[in-house]
Amino acid sequence: MIMRFQGTSYRWNLLSVALLVLLAVVGLSNPVDVTRAAESAVAEAPPERTLIFPENPDWLTGSPGGAPRWVRATRLKTQDWDPSNYVYGTRDSSWNDHGEALGAVTIPPGKELALFVLGNPWGNLSPLADLPPDTFQFIRLWKRFSSDDAQWVSRADLRILAGQRSLMTLEFLNRPLSDDLLAELPAMTNLKELSLEGTQITDAGLSHIAAMPWLEALNLKGTGVTNAGMAYLEDMTALRSLSLDRTGISDAGLARLSGLTSLESLSMSNTNVSDEGLVHLQGLQALRELQVTNTHVTAEGLDLLPNIVPSQTEAFVRSQVRLGMILSHYQATGPSSIGRP
């Protein structure tokens, strides 16, 4: 074929080039349209929808007082849809109670939806598997107090939660949760806020959190995290809020956080942090809130705070933090039961 080759005219060469350009334009236009369509879908407020939950689950039984035990076990809550005004650290008060996740439930248009799961109502999260992927924006799996209950959340349950593509906040509060389960979390690419407060998570679990650099808020309060785990957080530069209360961190762990330049709120109460650790935070120019109650931070260390926490008035920052330490000291030692300030 090489020996029989005959060159073609410039006209056919130009035609070939034109065809290639046409194919390129057609081939590349579809992904752009899909992306714009996806962005448009995210920006649009949810329409009215009816969700179906188990009608008569096995756990629906009466209590000795006559009130059904399922009350407040799986509560649905709503608030006005406003994705442009997302605020991390969402408080319960911002959600309006909508009722129990039981049977057919109609959600009004223009409302974000939250699910608060107390205890183990369904045995697993399979009732959520058949819901539309844009159903929830907030999910909390919680208990009022930490306990030694058996872990009921499985990796299959977390895969179900990962299917909720509009989920922005996921909270585990005082629920048994092991490190290996967190391997399913990086699939939640739209998640902005994650709370693991009161769980059994250790440094090994943070290795999976490191695969979620898009997180803006992370709550590790009351977990088994230590200084070694901070190495997994040093590249999470999108973090705006981080809670390390009641963990095993000290000054050495704070050295790992010096690159979190977007950090606005850092809480380290009831830890072994001291004045020397605060030096590592001097480059965090976005930092506005720092909580160090019941630590080894002294009054001399607090004098560094105007440099760490920029403020319009240096004296305001110093007096504000010192007042917080005085009140916390009085609360721990004074006769607060008599009701005086």
Domain ranges of the chain: 42-61+68-84+93-176, 221-332
Closest residue by Cα to residue 113 from 196, 33, 46, 60 = 46
Structure tokens at 159: 């895969």
How far, CA to CA in Å, does 306 sit from each of 78, 211, 283? 40, 33, 12
Tokens 């994650």 sit on residue: 194
Closest residue by Cα to residue 284 from 310, 302, 304, 303 = 310
DSSP states of 90-149: --GGGSEEEEES-SEEEEPTTEEEEEEEES-SSSSSGGGTTS-TTS-SEEEEE-SS---P
**Pairing relationship of beta strands 193-195 and 217-219 according to DSSP bridges:** parallel
At 193, give phi and psi (nearest 5°): -135, 130
Note the pLDDT of residue 248: 95
Closest residue by Cα to residue 271 from 299, 287, 292 = 292
Predicted TM-score (pTM) of this structure: 0.74
Cβ pair 181, 154 in contact under 8 A: yes
Cβ pair 304, 278 in contact under 8 A: yes
Residues 6+ apart with CB under 8 A from 233: 206, 209, 210, 218, 239, 242, 256, 257, 260
Look at domain 221-332 and name its CATH class.
Answer: alpha beta
Note the pLDDT of residue 262: 93
pLDDT tens, 14-50? 666 566 666 665 555 444 333 333 343 345 788 899 9
Task: Compute the residue count for the chain.
Answer: 341
Closest residue by Cα to residue 72 from 105, 100, 104, 95 = 100
Note the pLDDT of residue 27: 58
Beta bridge partners of 163: none
DSSP conformation class of 269: T
**CB count, 10 Å around CB of 145?**
6
Residues 6+ apart with CB under 8 A from 69: 59, 60, 61, 62, 63
DSSP conformation class of 291: E
Cβ pair 122, 100 in contact under 8 A: no
Q: CA-to-CA distance for 91 and 130, rounded, in angstroms?
A: 28
Question: Could you give the count of Cα atoms lying within 13 Å of 294 in the half-sphere of its Cβ?
Answer: 12
- Per-residue pLDDT of the chain (341 residues), as tens digits, is 566 655 555 555 566 656 666 666 555 544 433 333 334 334 578 889 999 998 765 555 554 554 444 456 788 999 988 766 555 554 556 789 998 888 899 999 999 999 998 877 778 899 999 999 999 999 999 876 565 666 778 999 999 999 999 999 999 988 888 999 999 999 999 999 999 999 989 999 999 999 999 999 999 999 999 999 999 999 999 999 999 999 999 999 999 999 999 999 999 999 999 989 988 888 888 888 888 888 888 767 766 655 554 443 344 344 445 555 555 555 555 544 444 44
